[in-house]
Structures are given as C-alpha cells and as structure tokens.
Structure 1
C-alpha cells in the first residue's frame, strides 16, 4: 500500500473523529475501508435524525483517485441507485467530461478529501439533482408530490435508526458548547494590580532625590563664584 495514501487517510480520519455528524469505524482494521454512519442533523431536512450506514473504499492511489461510496440501506432518493451507489460529480474521476457536461471543478481532484465527499452527500440528500436522476420515479415524486416524498423519507429515517450502534449517542445539534466564563476572583485582580505596580512609588522617590541633588549642586556653584 502507498505510504502517501496511508498518511493522508490517517490525517483525514483523525479530523473526522472530531465531527458529530459522522461516525467512522475501520472495516477489519483496514485504513482503506471505512464503515460510515452518516448522520443528518438538520431540522429542515426530510431526513432529519437519520443514521445512514454506508461504506467508503479507497485505493492505494488516493488522493489522485476518488474513493467509492455506497449506502448499505435502501434510500428512496432521485440520485441514489437501487444498490446504494450515488450519482454525484465529486466521486467521478478528475477532468472534464464532454459527454456529461461536467466541469473539472465539479469532479474529483486531489484537493478534495473524504470530508468534502461526505458533506457533498449530505447536501445532495436535501437538494437532489432531478434533471438526470438515478431513480426516475423518486425524481418525479420529489418534483410533483413532495408531501408523499417526505413521507417516504420519514419512513427511511425510522428504519435507519435501527443501525445506530449500541451506546452511540445521536447528536441533536452541531453547535459546540460555549467556553466557560472566567471566574470573577477579586483577590486575583487585587494581586495582579499589586504585581503590575511597576514600582511607581520608588520611581517618584528617585525623581525627588534627583531634584534635591540638582538644587544642591546649583547652590555650591553660586558659592564658589562668590
């Protein structure tokens, strides 16, 4: 396996472990095969509250080749095939495709990563591309019978919750807790003021002493002139 691919994947995995909206476990300890729990935390989404099991597979040529992605449960969606694979530009090989009309900027590039793929999939769930659907019936229902489509989505959410791992706590918000307030410790501030006095009183005394010495020197000079 490519050492470069391994280092890149280890770094990306470490970053994703901090996110609430995804839960990743390595398949049999393989860094190149991820078992993914993709979590929808969006009150405006038809799939809000879903825990979608998926699998993401990388080659030793990553990141120069895109990973593959497949949902492991049925999802009625315009851009998801019956086998769980997706019709999404970011998973297509780099470069422009004259036949599909996709621009290079829409397709995979080494600047992309696992997180950008997963975020793109979450966006696609709520904003499907129905002009060239993978599931024509779902595309028509989404366009013409949105209420029925949303009912199917709700049923899918209920079914997906059976995949939540034991002991896993589903997030209800993606916002992080605010930082703790600094305690109002009067002793701390009093001590700080004393420490930051910078010896002002000592400086005044030194200044007064310098003035007395200058006056004395002036008187001595006048007496010597007489």
Structure 2
C-alpha cells in the first residue's frame, strides 16, 4: 500500500529525482514512466515496449504500476502488471512480478536466494525495469510464480509442443489491443 506524505520526505525527493533521470536518459529505449496521479510520487505507471528481437514477447507493450513504500530505498517497491497480465513464468496471475531483487533484504527464510540476490538500497527504478526487460527475454522457469507458464516453457525448451510460444503470442496481441 502506498502512502502520500503531506510534506516532502527523503524517499519522495529521491523518487522525484529518479523519475526525472529515467525520463531524460537516452539509453532506456522501450521504457516509459510517469506518475499514476500527479500528487503521489510513490506510485508510478510504467510501459515496457519489448524489442521485436525478443524471442517470445517481442512487439508487446506491457503496462504496470510500480509502487514504492514510505521507507524506500531501504525496502523494495512492488511491480504489478495491469490488464492484460502477461502470461509469464515470473508473473503471478494477479499481475505481481516475482523477481529476487524485489524481495525484502536479508536472508531468505526458505533458503532459495542469498541475501546478495535480494533487495539492496543500491537498486534503482532503472535497474529494476532493466531486470524486468531481461526477464521478458529470458524467463526463469526455475523459480515460477505462474506454474502453468513455467511448465509450458520447460516443455518447449525440451523439444515439446510450442504451446508456451502460442500463449505468449496471444498475450502480445492482447497487449496491443488486438483481440482474436
């Protein structure tokens, strides 16, 4: 849940600066960011335009909200894809992204991730969004949020039917407003 502080905070000032940096960066093609509401720097609207060269998701335009906690950068934001939600091994059916760098700092109580793989305050919205773009190029089926997508991707990579690719192509079409 985001907060809208009544007075400027260190986190709010940092986010304003980072938003401006992303919007003026020349090397971030395919990434567009803005505020969901002008009055709340803690909630960003993101559009990711996936390069046509991407094996599965090429040509798609996926929208998400990136919501920052009041104690950012000490705690990670949450990225949730909006409708249509991409069919992807690392995106829950609810749209929430599952990626190590957005997991709270410290050791993983289940032992799947090291503390070095999890959130650290050196991460920025830019590094997060570049990691998300990378996940569209190389989904991680070993740590799935969407088991169906992970199973279909694994089967396809092992020479099975191209069902994953078919579902993703439909997802890309929906992201462009094309409905079959």
Q: Where on the TM-score scale, by shorter chain, does this alignment land: which range? A: 0.7 to 0.9
CA shift digits 1:62-121 (9 cap, x unpaired): 101100110012211111111001221111111121413311111101110111111111
Structure showing the higher helix proportion among its residues: 1
Distance 1:80 1:148 in 2: 18
CA RMSD of the aligned region, Å? 1.7
Is contact 2:78–2:97 with CA below 8 Å preserved after alignment? no
Residues matched between the structures, number: 163
Map of 1:136-175 to 2, 5 A cutoff?
136-145=147-156, 147-162=162-177
> In the alignment, which residue of structure 2 is the partner of 1:56?
66
Please say if 1:65 is aligned against 2:75: yes
Aligned residue for 2:41, secondary structure, equals strand
Contact 2:54 2:136 in 1 (8 A): no
Match status 1:46 vs 2:61: no
Which runs of at least 4 in structure 1 moved beyond 6 Å after TM superposition? none
- Which of the residues 128, 145, 168 maps onto 1:134? 145
- Higher relative CO (Cα under 8 Å, sequence separation at least 6) belongs to 2
Q: Which runs of 5+ in 2 are unaligned?
A: none
TM-score by length of 2: 0.83
Matching residue within 112, 131, 145 for 1:120:
131
CA distance in 2, matches of 1:116, 1:42: 21
Match for residue 25 of structure 1 among 34, 53, 67: 34
Alpha-carbon distance, 1:42 to partner: 4.5
CA distance in 1, matches of 2:169, 2:48: 16
Structure 1: 5+ residue stretches without partners: 164-226
Deviation of residue 45 (structure 1)? 2.7
Mean alpha-carbon deviation: is it higher for 130-139 or for 45-54?
130-139
Range with greater deviation from structure 2 (138-147 or 65-74): 138-147
Q: 1:199 — aligned with what?
A: none
Larger radius of gyration: 1
Alignment pair present for 1:80 and 2:117? no
